[in-house]
Amino acid sequence: MAIASYNPWAEMNTLQNQLERLFDDYQAPAFRSPAAELTETEDALYLRLELPGIEAKDVDIEVTAEAVKVIAERKTEQKEDTRSEFYYGKYQRVIPLKTRIQNTNVTAEYKDGILNLTLPKKEEEKNKVVKVSL
């Protein structure tokens, strides 16, 4: 009778591989939030958001005096039997603003997957001077 060595790690590796395949096949896409960049000047706030692969018609922007809400959707292009790491679905981001803005004068530009918003400050925010006494 031959003596066979037993390697418990081989069974663990097999189990790990089976679990990885299970999660790869049935993993739901995680919710994504577009990256943002906010710059402030004396007169306005400038907000940039990355929305790669999204057409301008699929972007919805809501601006209040205190926040900006961007909702966008990347439509699926997948065909049957395609494995993809691309995220398809809705993106949403609400960005609170530390300065009140004139939400009726906001301008937007969308080019190459980058959304640029110019958010002019309210007059009282631009001229706000605070004196500090010692």
Residue 19 in any domain: the answer is no
Does 17 reside within a domain?
no
Number of domains observed in the structure of the chain: 1
Does residue 70 belong to any structural domain of this protein?
yes
Note the pLDDT of residue 32.
66
pLDDT tens for 13-54 read: 888 888 777 766 555 445 567 889 999 999 999 999 999 888
Residue 43 domain-assigned (yes or no): yes
Residue entry with tokens 């500090």: 132
Give the CA count within 13 Å in the CB-facing half-sphere of 28: 3
Q: Whole-angstrom Cα distance, residue 73 to residue 92?
A: 9
- Amino acid letter, residue 67: A
Q: Is the pTM of this model over 0.75?
A: no
Inside any domain, residue 131? no
pLDDT digits 0-9 by tens, 83-129: 777 778 888 899 999 888 988 899 999 999 999 999 999 887 666 66
- Residue 25's SS3 state is helix
**60: CATH:** 2.60.40.790
Which residue range forms the structural domain that includes residue 90? Answer: 31-77+85-124
30-34, 63-67, 71-75, 106-110: which is most confident: 106-110
In a domain, 46, yes or no: yes
Q: Residue 133: inside a domain, yes or no? A: no
Q: 94-104: b or e for each residue (b if 16 or more CB lie within 10 Å)?
A: ebebeeebebe
